[in-house]
Amino acid sequence: MSALPAPADKYMARALELALRGEGRTAPNPPVGAVLVRDGLVVGEGFHPAAGEPHAEIFALRAAGELARGAELFVTLEPCCHQGRTGPCCEALIAAGVRRVCYGTVDPNPRVAGQGLARLQAAGVEVIPGPMVEACRRLIAPFAKLLLTGTPYLILKAAMTLDGQLATAGGESQWISCEASRMLGHQLRNRVDAILTGAGTVLADDPQLTVRLSDGRNPARVVLDSRLRTPLTARVFADVPGRRLLMTGDDVAGERLQPYVASGIEVIRIPRLGDHLDLSAAMHELGRRNLMCLLIEGGGALNGALLRAGLVDRLMLFIAPLLFGGGGGIPLFSGNGCRRLDEAIRLRDLQISRSGADLLVEGEVAACSPD
């Protein structure tokens, strides 16, 4: 196996940068970026913009033209080898005369899972694992989870004080985070398939859950409302671009749901577990609708229920240099937590950075212990 070319990090970083342009738009496919290099120069690049559109490799090949012959491909994900809505990328790379493929991570799809790499090698194309493996794996984590479990990848995002509060005892929460953090929040919304919130948050804050970016697009807005308390006049249900979904109990009378259906809202009825909705069943319903990556923007009750149910995959906490100094506010998580320290839910791949005046703490949930 050949050693990696010296600037491999630079080229894979560019492929990752390109892939991010497709985040939130490719479901049920993964976001992928590709860069073709010949004689030390980038001759073609591309990313997968949406399901049914050409893959990243095809855009890179089109941009390179004849310069693809003898070139090296840096791609965030193993090239596909099967016929879907588009043709297999492996065959296109072989036909174009690409001499080497440097890939970020293997495709978890059982229809590929190393077979793309094997096909390239069989045709005489050199195949080598590339750098930035963890970043490439993290990029496709929502795709992998939906593919393997049928449920979306959940990112819990919250703005909180140093003493763990989402709102004051009087219910005020705007704005705990600084302007820079709020802008990052809109950028994050622009990269997911849906935003998930609960009826309590809608009733307390009446959020829009839209993207306020000049080049952004609104993800789906999903409200979990077991007792159908959310009014049709709520801003989350405003008739602006983007899907609107309401998930409520399967025991809610059909006639109560008709006004929502008539307004173009997708109503999904979910079985109950005790007094609450079956959250696992709710996530499977969203997965069936190809909502691959969800951003949780809820209150302590919803946050706690999802975390204890083992459904949260990643946390992004914007921590402001504020203290409320006592009880009565809304905590990040409510409900019964761990009784013993060894039951604590831990984070891995922890990252801490500055976001204006705030700290951004993020990491993957390593293990969850349901109640």
Structure confidence by residue, pLDDT tens digits, 53-104: 999 999 999 999 999 999 999 999 999 987 666 678 999 999 999 999 999 9
Distance CA 233, CA 326 (A): 34
Bridge-partner residues for 235, per DSSP?
Answer: none
pLDDT of residue 2: 54
Structure confidence by residue, pLDDT tens digits, 250-271: 999 999 999 999 999 999 999 9
Verdict on whether the full-model pTM lies above 0.85 = yes
SS (H, E, C) the chain: CCCCCCCHHHHHHHHHHHHHHHCCCCCCCCCCEEEEEECCEEEEEEECCCCCCCCHHHHHHHHHHHHHCCCEEEEEECCCCCCCCCCCHHHHHHHHCCCEEEEEECCCCCCCCCHHHHHHHHCCCEEEECCCHHHHHHHCHHHHHHHHHCCCEEEEEEEECCCCEEECCCCCCCCCCCHHHHHHHHHHHCCCCEEEEEHHHHHHHCCCCCCCCCCCCCCEEEEECCCCCCCCCCHHHCCCCCCEEEEEECCCCHHHHHHHHHCCCEEEEECEECCEECHHHHHHHHHHCCCCEEEECCCHHHHHHHHHCCCCCEEEEEECCCCCCCCCCEECCCCCCCCCHHHCCCEEEEEEEEECCEEEEEEEECCCCCC
Distance CA 256, CA 311 (A): 29
Instruction: Tokens for 328, please give them.
Output: 């009565």
On average, the pLDDT of the chain sits at 92
Residue 339 neighbours by CB under 8 Å, 6+ apart? none
Is the pLDDT at 14 greater than 70? The verdict is yes
User: Of 23, 57, 285, 362, which is the active-site residue?
Assistant: 57
Distance CA 93, CA 99 (A): 9
Structure confidence by residue, pLDDT tens digits, 352-371: 999 999 999 999 998 544 44
From the centroid of its chain, how far is CA 10? 24
Rg (CA), the chain: 22
Distance CA 164, CA 174 (A): 15
Contact between residue 211 and residue 219 where contact means Cβ atoms under 8 Å apart: yes
| Percent of the chain with pLDDT strictly greater than 70 | 96
Question: Which among 361, 201, 196, 360 is positioned nearest to 293, based on CA atoms?
Answer: 196
Structure confidence by residue, pLDDT tens digits, 102-142: 999 999 988 788 899 999 999 999 999 999 999 999 999 99
Catalytic residue list contains 266: no
Q: What is the mean pLDDT of residues 4-14?
A: 85
Q: Which amino acid is present at 311?
A: L
Q: What is the mean pLDDT of residues 269-275?
A: 91
Biggest distance spanned by C-alpha atoms of the chain: 68
- In sign, the C-alpha dihedral spanning 191, 147, 138, 305 is positive
Structure confidence by residue, pLDDT tens digits, 170-204: 877 888 999 999 999 999 999 999 999 999 999 98
Cβ neighbour number for residue 274 with a 10 Å cutoff: 6
pLDDT of residue 87: 75
Distance CA 270, CA 193 (A): 20
pLDDT of residue 370: 40
| Percent of the chain with pLDDT strictly greater than 90 | 77
Cβ neighbour number for residue 167 with a 10 Å cutoff: 23
Instruction: Check residues 120 and 335 and name the one with the higher pLDDT.
Output: 120
Distance CA 357, CA 354 (A): 7
Distance CA 128, CA 145 (A): 25
